Amino acid sequence: MNILRAVRSANFLARKTFSSVRPFSQSQILLVKEDELHKEIQNAFPEGQISVEDASNGCGTNFNIQVVCDSFDGKRAVNRNRMVNKVIKPYMEEIHMIRVETFTKAEFSSS
Amino acid sequence: MFRRLAQSLVRTTQFRFVSHDYQAIVNAKKCVVFMKGTPDAPQCGFSRAVIQMLEAEGVDLNNEISAHNILEEDGMREEMKEFSDWPTFPQVYLNGEFYGGCDIMYDDYKNEKLRGILLEAKLTLPEH
């Protein structure tokens, strides 16, 4: 009788302790990944050279993004960045910091 | 169905920036900075960098610019992101027009274009 009670309470305790822990796979889905961002940006700038780097050591919170594309030609820096920002806007809730660098092909080769 | 349509139309057109009159704020001075912290006590490296660059160009921080602390002012943090269509701070406005953030200013500063841009915005800068 005592053993049963002990097992039951242990069960109860275990369930309580681990109820708030997310299963491993679920937390991976919430993490913003370099590849995902890269793909999204590449889709928006098909002929561009894209570079996405996770600057938060895999935490998915800080990113350095570089886009080289001639569609930036003639546009102010602000508007170029906005073109990129629009693409990553859905991810901005999870991302804390981004560094976006935009170049035309000519500017990039001379930098 | 029309009710839904009307509601969504109202939602998109209604003035969502209710905490402050941002249009008036960005037009108030030739240079307006939305930052974390204050010019004397910045609370973020990028905000500090913007202030340092303005100082380096000789801008009179007391008279020529107005700085707003988005950490202190109600609603400003979220609403300015929408108003500027820019996801991060600091945000710099010149003559009522959004100029950019720290990276953009640093780029112009590095290429020695910042002084020209500030002069174009009719800021008074000391002679070199």
Can you give the CATH number for the domain in which A62 is found?
3.30.300.90
Residues B4-12, mean pLDDT to the nearest whole number = 64
For residue B108, tell me if it sits in a domain: yes
pLDDT above 90 as % of chain B: 79
**B62: Cα within 13 Å, side-chain hemisphere:** 0
Tokens of A41: 């940006």
In DSSP terms, B65 is beta-bridged to B31
pLDDT at B91 (0 to 100): 97
Q: How many beta-carbon pairs under 8 angstroms link A with B?
A: 25
Which range among A46-55, A63-72, B8-17, B95-104 shows the weakest confidence by mean pLDDT? B8-17
Domain span at residue B87? 2-120
- Which residue from B87, B88, B98 is facing A78, i.e. has the nearest CB? B98
- Spatial distance between the Cα atoms of A7 and B29, rounded to a whole number of angstroms: 71
In sequence order, what are the residues at sequence separation of 6 or more whose Cβ sits closer than 8 angstroms to the Cβ of residue B94?
Answer: B30, B31, B117, B118, B121
What letter does residue A22 receive in the DSSP assignment? Answer: P
In CATH, what number is assigned to the domain containing residue B34? 3.40.30.10
For range A7-24, the mean pLDDT: 65
Residue A90 has pLDDT above 60, yes or no: yes
Domain count along chain A: 1
Whole-number average pLDDT of chain B: 90
Q: What is the predicted pLDDT for the residue at A96?
A: 83
- Confidence class for position B115, pLDDT limits 50, 70, 90: very high
Question: Over chain A, what is the mean pLDDT?
Answer: 83
Amino acid at A99: R
B-interface mutation test, from A65, A75, A81, most B Cβ less than 10 A away: A81
Element housing B32 (H / E):
strand B31-35
Pairing mode, strands B31-35 and B91-94:
antiparallel
pLDDT, tens digit (0-9, with 9 covering 90-100), for B102-111: 999 999 999 9
Nearest to B31 by CA among B104, B91, B82: B91
Interchain CB contact of A97 with B (< 8 Å): yes
Per-residue pLDDT at A110 exceeds 60: yes
**Residue A40 backbone dihedrals phi, psi, to 5 degrees:** -60, -45
Q: Which residues of B are annotated as a binding site for glutathione?
A: 36, 77, 89, 102-103
Q: Is residue B42, in this structure, part of any structural domain at all? A: yes
pLDDT value of residue B98: 96
Task: Give the per-residue pLDDT at B17.
Answer: 59
Q: Quick check: A28 pLDDT over 50? A: no
Split into its structural domains, chain B has a count of 1
Residue A83 lies inside a defined structural domain of this protein: yes
In this prediction, residue A27 carries a pLDDT of: 44
Distance in angstroms (rounded) separating the CA atoms of residues A104 and A98: 20
B128 found inside a domain = no
Buried b (16+ CB within 10 A) or exposed e, B4-20: eeeeeeeeeeeeeeeeb
B127 domain-assigned: no
Our CA-based measurement puts residue A67 at a distance from the nearest CA of chain B, in whole angstroms, of: 14
**Structure tokens given for B32:** 């307006």
Element (H, E) at A6: helix A2-18
Q: Which domain holds residue A65?
A: 34-110
How does pLDDT run across B83-96, given as a tens digit for each residue?
A: 999 999 999 999 99
Place of tokens 């990553």: A88
Beta-bridge partner residues of A97: A62
Return the pLDDT at B26: 95
pLDDT digit string, tens, across residues A65-85: 999 999 999 999 999 999 999
Is A71's Cβ below 8 Å from some Cβ in B? no
Flag whether residue A22 sits within 8 Å of chain B, measured between CB atoms. no
* pLDDT for position B36: 97
User: Would residue B27 count as lying in a domain?
Assistant: yes
Q: What is the pTM of this model?
A: 0.74
- What per-residue confidence (pLDDT) applies to B19? 83
| A28 CA to centre of own chain | 11
In the block, tokens 């928006």 appear at A44
